[in-house]
Structure 1
Amino acid sequence: MKAVFLKEWRFRACDEEEWHPAVVPGCVHTDLFRNGLIPDPFYGTNEHNLQWVDKKDWEYQSEFEVDLELIQLSRIDLVFEGLDTYADVYLNEQPILSADNMFRTWKVDVKEQLKSGPNTLRVRFRSPILEDLPKLEQLGYALPATNDQSELGGLGDKKVSIFARKAPYHYGWDWGPRFVTSGIWREVRLEGWSQLQITDLYIRQDEVTAEAAKLTVMTEVNAEAEWTGALRITAGDEQWEQQVEVKAGQTELHINIEIKNPSLWWCQGLGEANMYAFKAELLSDETPIAERSVRTGLRDIQLIREKDEAGVSFYFKLNGTPVYAKGANHIPNDSFTTEVTRERYLHEIVTAVESNMNMLRVWGGGIYEEDVFYDLCDEYGLLVWQDFMFACSMYPGDEAFLNSVGAEARDNVKRLRNHPSIALWCGNNEIDSAWAHYVEDAGWGWKKDYSQEIREKLWADYQAIFHKLLPEVVSELSPDITYWPSSPLRNLTGDQEQHAYKTTGDGDVHYWGVWHAIEPFENYNKNVGRFMSEYGFQSFPELKSVLEYAPEEALELESEIMLAHQKNGRGNQLIKEYMDMYLPEPKDFKSFLYMSQVLQAEAITMAIEAHRRSKPYCMGTLYWQMNDCWPVASWAGMDYQGRWKALQYAVKRSFAPVLLTVQSTKDTITVHAVSDLGTVVQAELVTELHLNVGGRAVLNSYSVTLAAGESAEILSIPRSDLLGAHDPQQVVLTASLKIGEDIIATRQHYLVPERELRLSKPKITLTESQGQNGVPVYTLETDALARQVWLSTQEEGVFSDNFFDLIPGQPRTVEFKLRKPGVGSFVPAAAGVVEIRSMADFVDEESLVQCIQADSAK
């Protein structure tokens, strides 16, 4: 086979004459920006002024020559890996393709249309807005699409996102802008072949154990005519071969093979992510006629849902070992997906690994991710919960729509099914619980807008997609992976027990009482389900990132730009209201940015600790969200620039293999230990009570035995015994698990609400010394309790720890890792000039004292 990639392109608006250089893969918005025809879409309020782009038709054109070697081949296919979205394609002015689904691969035989010498390929994109408005009018009633920002797009209440098989978040979301793109968003190539072509190679894992991997190698072959020869499969040093007969057209060949004592693929924390390379060759007298290769990892992954005394379990078992899923929800890394380089993907995946994660959920309002994303998850041992691309909306159920969805599902399941990281196929995000068909007063209030007849129609259309079409595709093409209809869901019961509109003893849970319902953080301890697949809390990016989309004069909570970069309605005010509940008042807006990150980190820390403490009842915690698609105040743990917020450091601590948590009531102090290790932990629990201004008041130690994978209460003592006569406002409790001199887990805990702590201005010193391999390490000490110490530097990278509390007499040593340009991974390095700040630098001391007095008076 010979492949030729088409790289030289130009574009224009269809109602204009002038052509401009274009980048493919790309989209109209990025091409307009590169040509200086629009301002930076992400800066200020520019988003609002660029909504005209999606109302136009756009045209892309490439001129190319076909060499003699290619033109002499029997068949030449033109392959579009992705067209966004409504596109008419012409080759030498002959129509060859009409596309209508962003998520599909489009292939057409162009042997007859190609000519020697110059050829012209033209792709005309029809406006997705003008294409779909008539569908809304024809339907006669609106379909729910909560996050479609139609008003911003100049459409009033006319929401058309549900009609296009296109990334839902392009129409806006409560963390993302509205940029409804058009363009050639994945590569374009000519594929020429003669006689035979292997179009797909799938390693179906029928039974995988440590003793043997029993596999079916499924090879899809296109042939000009009937052919007889040999099919050879190679994996490492092993080969299997058999004689085969191929029909003209498409044939699927199967070979059953077995690999003894395989090196299994494991996720982070359980073992190595071992991979195998498989190659299929069609041979004629030992001469290869066609070949194809794939890499996969051998593993057995199951979703375990078994009845128990609490309800029905919900957890993943990998190679027979239960996995406590620790991770986050992933959204696209950019509003313009072609701007995401391999380096940016790698930065996200390495961040997940550095943060002790073992799972990412590819959320259903974005895209089926690029191959490189899944390759990196395979390589680094991250499991992937994979949604189909449907979210927070009801969808049409006409035949054309269903056919398009079916083709989309087949394309993507076939593309992704060899990745060992894929742990689950999920039908959609939140639609079952939002509609809540079987409970009249549950859900998001959608049902009240429709007659009973239309309700039944919408639900029947929903079931056709998510209860019939998609599970059938998964069962046929990826039978070793479980299909889950919607997240969240209790069970597919067909009655009121189906919907996960409240926390119960089965299914997965999206808990948003904290944030959307303005419930206190403490409710994270009460609302724990079997698998927490969504929950979250917002913060702003750091000042350096904010200044990349806003000038100094816009640095106010309610400025036009700050509101434009806050997509969640009252989001900025919600942050402030929660801050008033839990933290001292920041002295200015720049301090508010810092304090918002502290607030977010403390919220999610409480949630994760509650979830892990509840193991094995709860066996998974995926917070919302991992990343951002543009610079914005959001739920992300790292901002659009890839800079870690306080949350990312908190998550790293909270997802550690061994975790300590401390809880207190007015009478009792309780310490829990949680282990994800596969071995018994024999350790010493050391508790210390420190004075905020220096000195240790109480020291105790206890022997602890923690079983493999156990969560257990390891200490409960009366509060009065620990505190004695000390003022609870002026002490901090530390609990540490030690094996010998090594501390394997530690936790600090305050005995009063944080707003009541009596803080003084600390003097923090930093000492630089040489660590291993000659890379500097930094030791910090303080003369008084320093809350939320923030280390920053001009270098782009991360510290081994940050946003931590520093206690007098307890030095903290950290390292710095540089985000290596063009690589994405972190490399130990010198940090340069390190700026050290703590909460005392961001709080007006006088207002803090007043705040403490007011709270104490209560």
Structure 2
Amino acid sequence: MIRTDLHAGWTVRAAGGPVPAELAAEIVPATVPGTVHTDLLDAELIPDPFLGENEAALVWFHRAAWLYETTFTAAPAAADERVDLVFEGLDTVATITLDGAELGRTANMHRSYRFDVRDRVRDGGIPLAVRFDSALEYAEELQKVIGERPRPYRHPFNAVRKMACSFGWDWGPDLQTAGIWKPVRVERWRVARLASVRPLATLDADGTGRLTLHVEVERSGLSAATDLTVEVTVGAQTARIVIPAGDISGMIEILVEGAQAWWPIGYGDQPLSDVVTTLRDESGELDAHRARVGFRTVTLDETADEIGSAFTLQVNGTPIFVRGLNWIPEDHLLTRLTREVYAAAIDRAVEANTNLLRVWGGGIYENEDFYDLCDERGILVWQDFPLACAAYAEEEPLRSEILAEARENVARLTPHPSLALWNGGNENIWGHEDWDWKPALDGLTWGAGYYYEDFPALLAELDPTRPYHPGSPSSPGHDPEVIHPNDDRYGTRHEWEAWNREDYTHHDNFRPRFCAEFGWQAPPTWSTLRESIAPEDFDQESPAFLLHQKAEDGNGKLNRGMAHHMRVPEEFEAWHWATQLNQARATAYAIAHLRGHAPRTMGSILWQLNDCWPVTSWAVVDGAGRRKPAWYALRRSYAPRLLAFRDGNLVVVNDSPAAWRGAAGLRRVGFDGTVLAAASHPLDIPARSVRIIPLDEAVITPGDPAREVLVAEADGLRATHLFAEDFDLAYDPAALSADISPVEGGYSITVTAASFARDIAVLADKIDPDAVVDDMLVDLLPGETHTFLVRTTWADPSGFVGPVVLRSANALAAPAEA
């Protein structure tokens, strides 16, 4: 096999549609893999769509057509040789032309394409062109044929196999990319090639690793009568099989005695084994495939019980409480993503004590870097099939495309030990029941066949080693018209009433078996705002700010949510801090609620880890990769050990591998430091368990709710409970003083409280956009100190202790700053 990349020498130019006159005649160097947006950005021909109101200025892109062109050389094929032109990914509606003749047409960015060009290569330069037509117009025309189906946004994203959030989402821009977004190459081969290699690695109960490898080959026309040998090596072991003449598939099983088990982070190590698969005939090696596997077994316990039915992921027989985050594409312009960008994003999840990332169904099947990094770090992956929030036709041509992409990507991802669960799609079953789809559908198909028949059958064939869930949320095994798909007694639940209509305390009304989505919004960090909109747009009603707030009535929900707990500031900078603080509190509250109900509840997947551009959203890390205050709340809430208060009780969560023994000290303290009541409770909490400790009335009953705080402490952990909302608390707005001194890599800031101070933070990015602080949202009693470490190269330290950088909840009790 000889592989030759075709990434050089490409150009791109407009080929139709409402392209501005100044761009229509431009021929631009094209980066492959890449997109038209990134090429025009590199050529400085369009403004950055992430900044200001530029997204709205580029809507003409939606209906534009583009032509990529290059010339390559490839010697004529020998009599026994195949020559294939391979596109790993085309975004999305493409026509491929080679040497003036059409090779094929595509309409799916989630799969690859291979064309036999042995009869078309010749001496000299061979012109190759790929024309991309509007995916939006394709979808609009197709839905006229197959029938329009319900969706939450105006564009018919559910009628074309393109990343759904390309068409805009309630956190994402409406920027419909086009381009050769994955590698393209020429492959020359003889006799046969490896068409598919599926290594399935599991771990038997006795510790034996079991590698079951399925291989499919494609034969050239002259090799049907040839025996082929497949050799597989894992570690020190090698096995071989013969694929007899006429056959195109085979299976090898290798047992690895005493295999090292792969575990999720926090449960053990992540050893990985190389698997090398070589295809040979009597003349020698024809093709080879390399992968890494980890030996582990993943199951999903859905046992019926007195409540409903469980939903518990188990790895190697051990139940896992999922401390998860939803993952959306890390950049809306996907081709800018590198392994380093993925690593930084996943490491932010690891640092926040996460053990699972859910690849959400409105995005993509992620690339190998994402799964490789999760394998190495022990982060479990929940993989949605990319169908989200809409009804999907089960007729042609959509059906064949969905099943083809699913087949290809299931086979591609089977080696990865991090991949723990396949999910049929996002909110589609729920939508069918609750979002008034049925009258609109009037009998049309909507996707049920995929979720209940096609995907399970495909996985039974290709990947029977992992559990499958028909959709999130859903109540598997029950008629959704009888048991609601979002019923908290079964399966998975999404909790959005809290954000949309209630308050974050609304979580108290439900004890889901597994909560796969919940969250609270806040704007991005100050530096990210400063980089993306102009100073005059720092107003929650400015057009630019609102263009970067995609949620319906998003700012209204932010303000109503704050109003339950605190004064809603009018001045923008104070408002910005208050929204971020409320997001952090909502995050901590919901997670403590879910974790405190284990083992009834066995999963928490916060919406969401990341953003794909600068936007007000539910992310805890903004579109520039900066941590919001909520990230620090998440890290504390997802720590293996957690203290929290609930209904007059102390909730003690021990999700660590060792028993937690010691004592929890309780104090009711006045804001001036006076200890008003105290108690101590012994702790003997087994590993991976939760205990609820009732508290004495004397400790939990305040004398003056406006001036007292309840504090629990154990082994360096602290939980605080206030007896009133912020707007009724007698905070001292000037409770803090600070000293700053240089240390290696930045500064240490020692903060001292003269009165009770809540949610202390150093918003260091306001001074240095690259600064990172080690902690946030610290509560201090009078006389206590806390030292924050700021990593920065900023020369002047004074700003880091200024009043808009050294922040707390107390400051919001003061009049709005000028």
Structure 1 Cα separation of the partners of residues 230 and 148 of structure 2? 54
> Structure 2: which 5+ residue stretches go unaligned?
17-23
User: For the Cα contact (< 8 Å) 1:491–1:499, is it kept in 2?
Assistant: no
Distance in structure 2 (CA, Å) of the matches to 1:243 and 1:376: 32
Which one of the candidate residues 326, 331, 339 is aligned to 1:329? 326
The 5-angstrom pairing of residues 655-804 of structure 1 reads 655-664=638-647, 669-694=648-673, 696-718=675-697, 720-721=698-699, 725=703, 727-738=704-715, 743=716, 745-760=717-732, 761-766=734-739, 768=741, 779-791=750-762, 792-793=764-765, 794=768, 796=770, 798-804=772-778
For the pair 1:810 / 2:795, whether they are aligned, the reply is no
* Equivalent position amino acid for 2:7 in 1: K
Paired residue for 2:67?
Answer: 59
Alignment of 1:440-451 (within 5 A): 443-448=434-439, 450=440
Summarize the alignment of residues 573-652 of structure 1 with structure 2, pairs less than 5 Å apart.
573-586=556-569, 588-652=571-635
What is the Cα deviation at residue 446 of structure 1? 2.4
CA 1:777/1:714 → structure 2, altered by over 3 Å: closer, same or farther?
Answer: farther
Deviation, 1:783, is 2.2
Q: Give the letter aligned to residue 239 of structure 1.
A: Q
2:174 aligned with 1:201, yes or no?
no
Give the aligned residue type for 2:226: W
1:266 aligns with 2:263: yes
1:10 is matched with: 11
SS at match of 1:582: coil
- Conserved? CA contact 2:469–2:476, under 8 Å: no
786-795 or 262-271, which moves further after superposition?
Answer: 786-795
Aligned to 2:476: 491
User: Is 1:169 aligned to 2:132, yes or no?
Assistant: no
Task: Give the match for residue 507 of structure 1.
Answer: 491
Q: Equivalent residue for 1:851? A: none
Q: Deviations over 1:798-834 (max 9, x none)?
A: 4332132233333324445689xxxxxxxxxx99974
1:129 counterpart = 2:132: no
What do residues 430-462 of structure 1 show as CA deviations (whole Å, max 9, x unaligned)?
Answer: 1111111xxxxxx012224x3xxx53333xx52
1:84 shift after superposition:
0.9
Shift of the alpha carbon at 1:276? Answer: 0.9
Alignment partner of 1:7: what SS? coil
Asked if the contact 1:201/1:294 (under 8 Å) is kept, the reply is no
Superposition deviation, residue 86 in structure 1: 1.0
Aligned match of 1:153:
none
**Is the Cα–Cα contact under 8 Å of residues 740 and 797 in structure 2 kept in the other structure?**
no
CA distance in 2, matches of 1:728, 1:386: 47
Once the two structures are aligned, what percentage of the paired residues are identical?
32
1:495-553 Cα distance to aligned partner (Å, 9 max, x none): 5234324x43111000111111x213221112221000011111111221112221111
Say if 1:690 and 1:733, in contact at 8 Å, map to a contact too. Answer: yes
Give the superposition deviation at 1:654. 0.3
Measure the CA separation in 1 of the matches of 2:729 and 2:128.
69
Q: How many pairs does the alignment contain?
A: 798
Task: Tell me which amino acid in the other structure corresponds to 2:362.
Answer: G
**After the TM superposition, which residues 805-844 of structure 1 pair with which residues of structure 2 at under 5 Å, given as runs?**
805-816=779-790, 834-835=800-801, 836-839=805-808, 843=812
Q: 1:777 to 1:321 in 2, by over 3 A?
A: farther
Task: Pick the aligned partner of 1:290 from 287, 290, 294.
Answer: 287
What is the CA–CA distance in structure 1 between the aligned matches of 2:748 and 2:196, rounded to whole Å? Answer: 50
1:277-676 mapped onto 2 (5 Å cutoff): 277-283=274-280, 288-436=285-433, 443-448=434-439, 450=440, 454-458=441-445, 461-494=446-479, 496-501=481-486, 503-516=487-500, 518-586=501-569, 588-664=571-647, 669-676=648-655
Alignment of 1:138 with 2:110, yes or no, is: no
Is the 8 Å Cα contact of residues 209 and 300 (structure 1) preserved in structure 2? no
Structure 1 position 840, deviation (Å): 6.0
CA shift, 1:7, in A, is 1.6
Report the secondary structure of 1:402's partner residue. Answer: helix
Q: How far apart, in 2, do the equivalents of 1:831 and 1:330 lie?
A: 36
Contact kept in structure 1, 2:746 and 2:792, CA below 8 Å: no
Give the structure 2 partner of residue 244 of structure 1: 242
Letter of the structure 2 residue corresponding to residue 116 of structure 1: D
Q: Rate the CA distance shift 1:513–1:123 in 2: closer, same or farther, 3 A.
A: same
- Paired residue secondary structure (1:326): strand
- Comparing 648-657 with 14-23, greater Cα deviation is found at 14-23
C-alpha distance in structure 2 between counterparts of 1:138 and 1:723, whole Å:
67
Letter matched to residue 721 of structure 2? H
Q: How far, CA to CA, are the matches of 2:465 and 2:771 in structure 1?
A: 39
TM value normalised by structure 2: 0.93
Aligned AA (2:528): S
SS in 2 for 1:274: coil
Distance in 1 separating the partners of 2:200 and 2:86: 26
Q: Match for 2:198: what amino acid? A: Y
Residues 721, 367 of structure 1: CA spacing in aligned structure 2 closer, same or farther, 3 A cutoff?
A: closer
Flag the 1:581–1:344 CA change in 2: closer, same or farther, 3 A.
same
CA distance in 1, matches of 2:746, 2:132: 53
Whether the aligned pair in 2 keeps the contact of 1:585 and 1:847 (CA below 8 Å) is: no
* Counterpart residue number, 1:824: none
Judge conservation of contact 2:75–2:122 (CA < 8 Å) in 1: no
Task: Please state how far the C-alpha of 1:429 moved relative to its aligned partner.
Answer: 0.6
- Distance in 1 (CA, whole Å) between partners of 2:471 and 2:48 is 37
Deviation at 1:25, TM superposition (A): 1.4
Q: For residues 54-108 of structure 1, what are the alpha-carbon distances to aligned partners after superposition, in whole Å with 9 as ceiling and x for unaligned? A: 212111012223379x989822211111101111101111211211111111111
Matched, 1:97 2:97: no
For the 8 Å contact 1:201–1:293, the answer to whether it is kept is no
| Residues 94-151 of structure 1, C-alpha deviations (whole Å, 9 max, x = no match) | 2112111111111112222122331221001111122232223334x531110x2x3x
1:76 to 70, 83, 98: 83
CA drift of 1:765 comes to 1.9
Distance 1:196 1:685, change over 3 A: same
The partner residue of 1:222 within 205, 218, 224 is 218
Q: Is the 8 A contact 2:210 2:253 kept in 1?
A: yes
Q: Which runs of 5+ in 1 are unaligned?
A: 151-158, 437-442, 820-829, 849-858
- Separation (CA, whole Å) in 1 of partners of 2:311 and 2:126: 56
Contact kept in structure 1, 2:271 and 2:294, CA below 8 Å: yes
Check conservation: 1:266, 1:299, Cα contact below 8 A.
yes
Mapping of residues 16-35 of structure 1, within 5 Å: 16-35=24-43
Q: 1:614: Cα distance to partner?
A: 0.4
Displacement of 1:782 in angstroms is 2.4
Q: 1:624 to 1:281 in 2, by over 3 A?
A: same
Mapped partners of 1:811, 1:624: distance in 2 = 33
**Is the alpha carbon distance of 1:340 and 1:243 closer, same or farther for their aligned partners in structure 2, counting shifts above 3 Å?**
closer
Which SS does the other structure have where 2:735 is aligned?
coil
Amino acid of the residue matched to residue 302 of structure 1?
T
TM-score normalised by length of structure 1: 0.88
Contact (CA 8 Å) 2:197, 2:411: kept in 1 or not?
no
| CA distance in 1: counterparts of 2:324 and 2:202, whole angstroms | 28
Question: Which secondary structure does the structure 2 equivalent of 1:364 belong to?
Answer: coil
Question: Partner of 2:490: helix, strand, or coil?
Answer: coil
Note closer, same or farther for the CA distance 1:291–1:490 as it changes in structure 2 (3 Å cut): same
CA offset digits 1:632-689 (Å, max 9, x no partner): 111111100011011110000000101111135xxxx321101112322212111233
Cα deviation, residue 289, structure 1:
4.0
